[in-house]
Amino acid sequence: MPAVAPRYRPGEVAELLGVSVDTVRRLADSGRLPTQRAEDGRRVVDGEDLARYLAEQAEPGAAGPIVGASARNRFTGIVTRVVRDEVVATVELRSGRHRIVSLMTAEAVDELGLRPGVLAVAAVKATNVVVEVPAR
């Protein structure tokens, strides 16, 4: 029996997208982000629908000229895509306007239960991090 995708409340979706709850409601009301009613009558977003919405968005990038940048090394987001074979897998996660791609073993994907719609945290550890500040 396939696992059921998680469901997210509008406040959780807003936090994951880096927008306000009102923006999430507008996305839902316009039909761009499908919602359902939970047993208690509250609006929820199916994880797979959220993953599909995120995957359909334009590639994340700078909203304008970069004036300074650095990022923390933990990104909480929604898995939007998993491509795997018998040994390795590529997992794509969207965290706000950031797209993180990880190459891992297929066994790790299975153990973690990764699939589109699942909430996950990408921890980035690098020995070489480039920080850029463009000319003003």
CATH number at residue 27: 1.10.1660.10
pLDDT computed for residue 62 by the predictor: 46
H or E element in which residue 56 lies: helix 47-56
Digit-coded pLDDT (tens) for 81-134: 999 999 999 999 998 888 999 999 999 999 999 999 999 988 887 767 677 777
* Residue 22 domain-assigned (yes or no): yes
Digit-coded pLDDT (tens) for 25-74: 999 999 999 999 999 999 999 999 998 898 887 655 445 565 655 555 77
Hey, what are 120's tokens?
A: 């996950």
* Residue 115 domain-assigned (yes or no): yes
Q: Residue 85: give its domain's CATH number.
A: 2.40.50.100
* Residue 1 domain-assigned (yes or no): no
Print the domain residue range for 78: 74-123
pLDDT computed for residue 112 by the predictor: 94
* Residue 67 domain-assigned (yes or no): no
